[in-house]
Structure 1
């Protein structure tokens, strides 16, 4: 049996808790087409150890975007990304990154891509603290969504619902009032304040501290360059976004946070990201 037919299937604990049925389906499909060794890590350390001890088996992650990031980051730290193709079966609520990379959604389709797909080499970003970015880097981080704010307001009123048990009509009225009030609270929530950042692309100044910006985004391309977009704060007429391509991006300024895929980092005063061309492989449908 070839190494391609031998899989180490690492099942993220969050996936096991949130969608056991999809995990079971993925295991069945993978087990029917390859020799599978199952690993059930309980935390990040177990996760990394399992990948480090995989031998010649191809790593397959069953989990959400965070599990995929954890796997790639662990292999990067071990300097093993070049030697294996990563596979992922997306299970969980956060699948934005997997979808953007072309991974099929659905346990059966994704598991079949693991067995029958082809490796595609992809660029990634590596920062000066050895962190990796597979999809999009955003500065500042995206604020909490309106739906998250709304759910927070609802959870805060749970004790009120308990106090009126036995009076369904009163609970209905209170629920209706909360529904009317909630959108106004979300609408009035202030957005993120403009940031003052110095952005350099391959050593060339893109924007300096005297120009407030609404945000910066960086995405690895497919040719060894990253796509950089800087959105200056508009004054009167809408300001035009500044777009450049670069191999190295340095951002500095007052303490700032950033979102690298699904993970928020910082605060830092300066950070540099460099493109690594074709640095990792992902199994995708042919």
Structure 2
């Protein structure tokens, strides 16, 4: 663990979504960091491409990302793809509405507290999940039950009853479509370090994979209950492979897929994140 006893040179990258959603918090963060750091360079990228260029040209400055979970995940993914994550110490000041991932990692969600942690905090090395398509998971990976697409129908113009009546008059009537079935169980093979935890003959309601400690992930499979309640199946390991029918998965807050096979590997201490001292 490294401590930042002396304020260093910061590159403060303020995500455009943060500027639009909470300009007051952004102003407070800029004031706190400018007053406390030896040197602060503030960048205001307008889109994802400019964000990536600013990050790539950071030089020796420590990047400080001001934004929500999507900005944090974008930064970590960029550094990982550039193979610069191991040599970079990252700070984040959560600003926005989606802050659950940053909070779960131990970052304060208050603007002043998070900015003070940038200046006075300590570096913690955190484990990540990296998949075989170079995707990164900071917190939790979840595979929900299969989702069935709703049938086509005439969309109701919300909030305008008179327009809805007009549409019903002009559009030829057709039988009301049957209600879409609820999410159904998945049939997946889940392997942890090469050992099968659940196979295709056992339908499951969901799978979760979370980095826990010492370079391993905790895997929890929830089988479908038939009669008596089925207990979750749990295992720990460094690699997790899921295969079977096309499935989607949620990596932190992003949904990916469908895929038929994906392997995630724990990268121990891959992320250097500045957190409040003592966390």
TM-score, scaled relative to structure 2: 0.85
CA change 1:142–1:80 in 2 (3 A) is farther
CA distance in 1, matches of 2:188, 2:146: 16
Deviations 1:156-205 (A, max 9, x none): 53223999xxxxxxxxxxxxxxxxxxxxxxxx986421111110000000
The one of 250, 259, 268 aligned to 1:268 = 259
Q: Does 1:30 align with 2:19?
A: no
Query: For structure 1, which runs of at least 5 residues remain unmatched after alignment?
Result: 144-154, 164-187
CA distance in 1, matches of 2:106, 2:137: 16
Q: Which segments of structure 1 move beyond 2 Å, counting only runs of 4 or more?
A: 140-143, 160-163, 188-192
Alignment-derived partner of residue 158 in structure 1: 159
Deviations 1:230-253 (A, max 9, x none): 000111111100010010000011
Contact 1:252-1:271 within 8 A present in 2 as well? yes
Alignment-derived partner of residue 19 in structure 1: 22
The structure in which a higher percent of residues are helix is: 1
CA distance in 1, matches of 2:65, 2:163: 42
CA distance in 1, matches of 2:163, 2:34: 48
Alpha-carbon RMSD across the aligned residues, in angstroms, is 2.1
Deviations 1:58-88 (A, max 9, x none): 0111111111000001111111111121111
Alignment-derived partner of residue 212 in structure 2: 221
The one of 225, 244, 257 aligned to 2:235 = 244
> Cα distance, 1:140 vs. partner?
2.4
Deviations 1:227-280 (A, max 9, x none): 100000111111100010010000011111100001111111100000000011
The one of 106, 110, 117 aligned to 2:114 = 110
Q: Does 1:8 align with 2:11?
A: yes
Contact 1:142-1:259 within 8 A present in 2 as well? no
Alignment-derived partner of residue 120 in structure 1: 124
| Pairing 1:57-206 to 2, within 5 Å after superposition | 57-140=61-144, 156-160=157-161, 191-206=182-197
